[in-house]
Amino acid sequence: MAIASPQKSMSANGGPSAKSPLRVVASAPGAVQVDNLDHTYNVGGRVTKALEQIKLDIAPGRFVVIVGPSGCGKSSLLMMMTGLVTPTAGSVYCGGLPMTAPDPDRVGVVFQEASLYPWLTAQDNVEFPLSLRGVPKAERAARARDKLALVGLKGFEDRYPHELSGGMKQRVSIARGLVQNPPILMLDEPFAALDEQTRISMGDELLRIWEQTGKTVVFVTHSLTEAAYLADEIIVMSARPGRIIDRIDVDLPRPRTYAMMSTPRFAELRERIWNQIKTQAGS
């Protein structure tokens, strides 16, 4: 809020979001807005500009992927969007309200490492956020079971994290992010640590969950393929200081299939992202 924003959110370059007036969209539960966000790090007196003039307008129910070279601050941006980190300037709104602190009722977060608590079973891990709020045992058990079934882990409720594969752990983590029914799900390179086959099938799983629940999804990745495969809209960021240098509406039909990855259109998309990032990372 430090910087006045006269031309509020005129940034989304056309696309489907243009068909509804932004002001109405912005107050819908699933809407995400980032307003003139700047961020600088101050490490031992040395000031580093990490993010510069980030503006985002995400309509409810959209699948938005943020992609950029490593170190561009895309993960930091996501952490600010979740309310975990406070930006130096500018603000983030989810469902029309500022994100000054994490709020699992509005935004579910999934981290790169599944970050499950090893002393809890899958079921208890998913129940954990509910138990912090004092939701009665029977209700939270039912809700957690429900979400575990949604992510395809019916029958694995009593497993401990060390008994689950990497992909399964990420599924539990997604179930945990969804257990409070937030309209928005934010994922920080959730599949980066997985092998390629698992990564592809987890992408399909996430798309299925997204289509089934109608959440707004903000997904950070460094994988061009993942970006083009999953997104409605791709936000391309530059190397440090991170700025938004391109916004791409992905016009590939849904449901996405593995075969689409070998179509010319898919290659074009990848190339467009690559050309943006290449000029940044090449130096």
Partner 1 sequence: MTLAVSTPAPRRLYVEPRTLRWILGLILLALWELLPRAGFIPSLFLPPLTETVGALLANAGDYVRHLLISLRAIGISMLFACGLGIGVGLLAGSIAPLRRVMLPLASGLYAVPLVILYPLFTAWFGIGPESKIAFASIYGLLPCFLGTMAGVQTIDRQYLVVARSMRATRWQMISRVLLPAAIPTVLSSLRVGGALVIVGVVVAEMLTSAEGIGYLITRYRTMLDSPRVFAGILVVVALVFAFDGLVRLIEYRTRNWRLSMRSGEPRN
Q: Which stretch binds partner 1 (CB under 8 A): 46-54, 69-77, 161-169, 237-245?
A: 161-169
Residue-by-residue DSSP string for the chain: --S--TTTT--S-SSGGGGS-HHHHHHSTT-EEEEEEEEEEEETTEEEEEEEEEEEEE-TT-EEEEE--TTSSHHHHHHHHTTSS--SEEEEEETTEE-SS--TTTEEEE-SS----TTS-HHHHHHHHHHHTT--HHHHHHHHHHHHHHTT-TT-TT--GGGS-HHHHHHHHHHHHHTT--SEEEEESTTTTS-HHHHHHHHHHHHHHHHHH--EEEEEES-HHHHHHH-SEEEEEPSSSB-EEEEEE----SS--GGGGGSHHHHHHHHHHHHHHHHHH--
Q: Which of 52, 113, 204, 249 binds partner 1 (CB under 8 A)?
A: 113
Tell me how many residues contact partner 1 (CB under 8 A).
Answer: 26
Nearest approach, Cβ of residue 109 and partner 1 (Å): 4
Q: Which stretch binds partner 1 (CB under 8 A): 22-30, 111-119, 228-236, 237-245?
A: 111-119
Question: Under rule CB under 8 A, which residues in 64-103 are in contact with partner 1?
Answer: 82, 84, 101-103
Closest CB to partner 1 among 106 and 256? Answer: 106
C-beta of 2: minimal distance to partner 1 in Å? 24
Near partner 1 by CB under 8 A: residue from 63, 93, 111, 229: 111
Taking CB under 8 A as the rule, which mask of x and - marks residues 183-202 in contact with partner 1? ----------xx--------
Interface segment toward partner 1; rule CB under 8 A; list 32-40, 63-71, 116-124, 218-226: 116-124
List residues binding partner 1 (CB under 8 A). Answer: 82, 84, 101-104, 109, 111, 113-119, 128-129, 132, 160-162, 165-166, 169, 193-194
